[in-house]
Amino acid sequence: MTIRILLADDQSLLRASFRVLIDATPGMSVIGEAANGQEAIELTRAHRPDVVLMDIRMPGTDGLAATTVICADPDLAEVRVLILTTFENDEYVAQALRAGASGFLGKGATPETLLGGIKIVAAGDSLLSPTATRALITRYLAAPDPSSAVSVEGIDTLTQREREIVALVGTGRSNVEIAEMLVVSPLTVRSHIQRAMGKLHARDRAQLVVIAYQSGLTTVGPRP
């Protein structure tokens, strides 16, 4: 199955470069280009891409606002947003995760990293490197933000094991790391995570991380 991608960036040269790279990759295709957030919203609604490659800083409606609109639309529940950033301001990345983005990449990423990231997000997983995001999560997501709070309805329906695993997901650990800690298989961990996501109505692992902090399952502190 071909992964259908929408490019959203105000730099036409960068969009052209991404298009050449993506269209030359088997199993991937660019289905549209947007120069700002409003265009990204409109094209996403019109074409229902699998992944929106979204720049943060764009004129008019920026990438954060566009991500919020796209991820809040029930009709676009299957669309995944992958944020591109220069990491000039980590808070932008945290806001994007709160908004529902499935992960982020630096604009300086290698072609292999970019293509791999698209595949990860399209598969329903999140692009959250444990080492790259732990400090970010601790600094920003742990602080309650009434204006962008994620619903934690369903927390009480989690089993004790699911609560434990969601808390560990919030620390940035991978399925393999969690499996080693709990002496279970990675497949068992993945099954618990999928059930927890269903109960919490989380789009993907990235939103599960946000819920883990905003519900209090994961708290600020040094990683053991």
What's residue 86's pLDDT? 72
Higher confidence at residue 9 or residue 144? 9
CB-based contact 65:56 (threshold 8 Å): no
Percent of the chain at pLDDT exceeding 90? 48
Q: pLDDT digits over 181-213, tens only?
A: 999 999 999 999 999 999 998 877 778 888 888
| Residue 149: pLDDT over 50 | no
Higher confidence at residue 104 or residue 6? 6
Least confident span in 76-90, 137-151, 163-177: 137-151
Higher confidence at residue 83 or residue 88? 83
Instruction: Kindly list the domain boundaries of the chain, sorted by start residue.
Output: 3-127, 145-214
Under CATH, what is the fold of the domain 3-127?
A: Rossmann fold (3.40.50)
Higher confidence at residue 66 or residue 105? 66
**65-96 burial code (b ≥16 CB/10 A, e <16):** bbbbbbbeeeebeebbbbbbbeeeeeebbbbb
Nearest to 167 by CA among 224, 219, 217: 217
Q: How many CA atoms lie within 13 A of 87 on its CB side?
A: 10
Higher confidence at residue 209 or residue 145? 209
What's residue 145's pLDDT? 53
What's residue 80's pLDDT? 93
- HEC string for the chain: CCEEEEEECCCHHHHHHHHHHHHCCCCEEEEEEECCHHHHHHHHHHHCCCEEEEECCCCCCCHHHHHHHHHHCHHHCCCEEEEEECCCCHHHHHHHHHHCCCEEEECCCCHHHHHHHHHHHHCCCCECCHHHHHHHHHHHHCCCCHHHCCCCCCHHHCCHHHHHHHHHHHCCCCHHHHHHHHCCCHHHHHHHHHHHHHHHCCCCHHHHHHHHHHCCCCCCCCCC
CB-based contact 213:204 (threshold 8 Å): no
What's residue 131's pLDDT? 46
Q: pLDDT digits over 90-127, tens only?
A: 667 677 777 888 888 877 888 998 999 899 888 877 66
What's residue 212's pLDDT? 86
For tokens 């094991």, what's the residue?
A: 161
Percent of the chain at pLDDT exceeding 70? 83
Under CATH, what is the fold of the domain 145-214?
A: Arc Repressor Mutant, subunit A (1.10.10)
Q: To the nearest whole number, what is the mean pLDDT of the chain? A: 84
What's residue 115's pLDDT? 93
CB-based contact 169:157 (threshold 8 Å): no
What is the maximal distance between C-alpha atoms in the chain? Answer: 50
